[in-house]
Structure 1
Amino acid sequence: MAINQKSFDQVTGALSSLDRNPQAVRQRVVALEKVLERAFTVPGTQYKVGLDAIVGLVPVVGDWVTGAMSAYLIWEARNLGMSKWQLARMSGNAVFDTAVGMVPFAGDLFDFVFKSNSRNLRIIKAHLDKHHPSTVIIEGEKL
């Protein structure tokens, strides 16, 4: 399927209009990590799972979809100006999670335990806390 220049310009214009200030980025990545890793509580336990584990139950397609969502976190990190080392660590987490998640049954169990997006969120938060301390939030209040 070919895309014409007008359509391309509309898509890139919409992407460039995303708010890139660090506070907005923090809110987006925290929200996405919550959806992917801890959106639901397993009944009868206090264990949290998200779309990564649930959608990952769909063979191959589920892991590709959640892998793409993980790639969005890495894209946001790149836009923050994070180092290549940090981006490589985050990419490694996402690729490892996606690859192992594609293994039938064992990969599904792995998705319930290995939370690559939570690991990547910690890397992003450490960067934001160091380079943009005004974005730190404690108990729902901005410092």
Structure 2
Amino acid sequence: MSNLPTHSSASLKRLRQISHLLDNAIPVPGTKYRFGLDPILGLLPGGGDMAGGLMSVYIVFEAMRMGVPSETIGRMGFNVVLDLLTGTVPVVGDLFDVAWKANSLNVALLEKHVAAPEPSKASNKIFAAVVIVALISLVIGMAALSLWLVTSLWNLIF
């Protein structure tokens, strides 16, 4: 990490902590397996997926600020999109969230860049900004869709 400015080192530490909290904070007794708050948040209709999604987008945003190449930002965005889209499917999505640790994958991609930056692949800030805006829009859209579905179901039943 010696090639990182102090503020980037602090950001990387913070991103590791967020990733751990979302993906690996809770051990499963009697096994080596761990899961985090992301699948638990996903149980809350609308707001839970939105909270987890925004934290995932924050990791991608910080990677953009640290100058990660556009190709890596795109891969990180794909991880978040897959997590968000599958997370909206009741039960199956929450089980997927337990197994698919998008935040851990994204921090690993960031750490790979930090360990061996690729000087020939500069970060394209416009591309990264478009990815961030698209991810935030997806998070809000998925939360709105979930809220609409819950409200419609509630009105149908009662």
The alignment's TM-score, normalised by the length of structure 1, stands at: 0.74
Quote the offset at 1:37 in angstroms: 0.5
Match of 2:21 among 19, 35, 44: 35
Residue 21 in structure 1 maps to residue 26 in structure 2: no
Which protein has the bigger helix share?
2
Q: Which has the higher contact order (CA 8 A, sep 6+)?
A: 2
The answer for the alignment partner of 1:108 in structure 2 is 94
Residue 84 in structure 1 maps to residue 70 in structure 2: yes
Match of 1:45 among 31, 40, 43: 31
Q: Distance in 2 between matches of 1:35 and 1:105?
A: 21
**Unaligned regions of 5+ residues in structure 1, if any?**
1-18, 132-143
Alpha-carbon contact 1:37-1:51 (below 8 Å) kept: yes
Runs of 4+ with deviation above 6 angstroms? none
Provide the aligned length of Structure 1 versus Structure 2. Answer: 113
SS at match of 2:116: helix
The answer for the alignment partner of 2:103 in structure 1 is 117
The answer for the alignment partner of 1:134 in structure 2 is none
The answer for the alignment partner of 1:71 in structure 2 is 57
Q: Residue type matched to 2:17 in 1? A: A
The answer for the alignment partner of 2:47 in structure 1 is 61
**Unaligned regions of 5+ residues in structure 2, if any?**
118-158
- Structure 1 residues 22-74: Cα deviation after superposition (integer angstroms, max 9, x where no partner): 21121111111111101111234332111111111112321111000000000
CA RMSD of aligned residues (A): 1.5
- Structure 1 residues 88-141: Cα deviation after superposition (integer angstroms, max 9, x where no partner): 11011001101110101111111111110111011000011113xxxxxxxxxx
Q: Distance in 1 between matches of 2:23 and 2:39?
A: 8
The answer for the alignment partner of 2:115 in structure 1 is 129
The alignment's TM-score, normalised by the length of structure 2, stands at: 0.67
Alpha-carbon contact 1:59-1:104 (below 8 Å) kept: no
Q: Distance in 2 between matches of 1:73 and 1:128?
A: 14
Quote the offset at 1:20 in angstroms: 6.5
